[in-house]
Structures are given as C-alpha cells and as structure tokens.
Amino acid sequence: MKRALVTGGSGQIGAAICRQLAQERLHVIVHAHRHRASAEDVTKQIIEAGGSAGVACFDISDAQATQRALAEILEAGPIQVLVNNAGIHDDAPMADMRTDQWSHVIAVSLGGFFNVTQPLLLPMIGTRWGRIITISSISAVLGNRGQTNYAAAKAGLHGACKSLAREVASRGVTVNVVAPGMIESRMVEQTFKPEQIEALVPMKRAGTPQEVAYLVGFLASERAGYISGQVIGINGGMA
C-alpha cells in the first residue's frame, strides 16, 4: 500500500483530501501542528470507513523538528504521495504590515514546503514513482489586497514546483500545484456575504473542499502520470 502525507490535514480542505486519498487506497498520514485532536478525528473517520490512516504532529516551519518527525515516518517506508497543504495567512495592507507578519507567512508556506518536501525526495525517487501536490491559492495568480505576504509565499510555490517538476520528471515523480479560489470554509463564511460571492465568482457560488479533494485525488493517481509542472486553478471561473 502506498503511503501519503497531507500537511495541514486537520483543516477543512486538508481533511477532505485525506479522506479522498484514503478512498484511493492509500495509507494517509494526517498532519497537524496545534490541532492534534482534529487530526485524530479525521483519522478516526477514515478508519471507520474502512481506510488506513495515522497522525503526525510537528511544526513545518521548524526545520529540525520536521526532520525528526519525517525520519520517524520514513522508518516505516517512503512517502509516495505528498500533499503540501499547510499554510497560514496574516493579512494587512503592506504599508501597515509588520515584519513578523511577512516572515511568518513566508516561513510556513514556502519554508514549510522545503522542510517537508526535501527530506522525502530521495526515498520517493528510489521507488521510481511519486506524486507531489502543493495547494496554492488564486491570490498567487491574481493578487489580493492585504495579502502581499500570502500571495508572495504562494506564488513562490509555483516557481519551486515548476523547477522541481523538471528535476524529478525522469524518475517517475510528478509535481503539480492546485490553486483554489473561493472555497467553502469558516473563514469565507465570516468574510463574504452570499451576494459578494455571487458578484466575485462567475459560477455564483463558492467551491467545496470535496471538489478540491477530487482534483488532488486525480493528480495523485496513475491516471495523471503525464501531468507535471502545472498550476491548475479550481475557482469557478475567477481566473
């Protein structure tokens, strides 16, 4: 059974991705940082549905802590599907943005991508089969007021993944980015009224975490073996 690691697997999109990959008959390691209980709930849901899953908790922005956690995970074998989903936002107009707001968002989204992906590469390459899928944002494509830090971090992931895709293409490993637009979540519900969503999204609705998970599940499968180095939007026609 192939093994998958989903960072930020305790969140709404991450949980949907974990459940979908489990349905694709992968053993799923559900990652969390501060929300271990949520990750354990997702793991329980997967096992109760007949799937296979476990939990891993570490701070992806801490390189040493991540290396220790991944070394333990790799003792059981290579990770062949990696979903870099963890990220944070700390919004402010750039004129008012603090240095720590900039650096922390970059450290988690972009630094975390390196900290998690780099140690898993050689074991993955050794199997001659792998899928690396990174969750970005429409903000990296269009920009967004108050999110220079977040957009910069996510746009950096696009360049990193396109470059990595070229490095590992001959080894049976694909690397792609999924860039969601407005997806149903507590944050979207708190930020946008229904009429605002209708005005912003040509499809007149927010997407669902499950719709993102279906795309990730496809990219993680054998069926997507010739797709690599791509940034794939899922945004209801916004971009």
Residue type for 20, please? Q
**Rounded CA separation 213/193 (Å):** 24
**Rounded CA separation 95/36 (Å):** 36
Cβ–Cβ < 8 Å for 97, 151: no
Residues belonging to the active site = 150
Q: Is 205 helix (H, G, I), strand (E, B) or coil?
A: coil
**Residue 98 CB neighbour total at 10 angstroms:** 11
Query: H-helix or E-strand containing 35?
Result: none
**Residue 191 CB neighbour total at 10 angstroms:** 12
Cβ–Cβ < 8 Å for 134, 161: yes
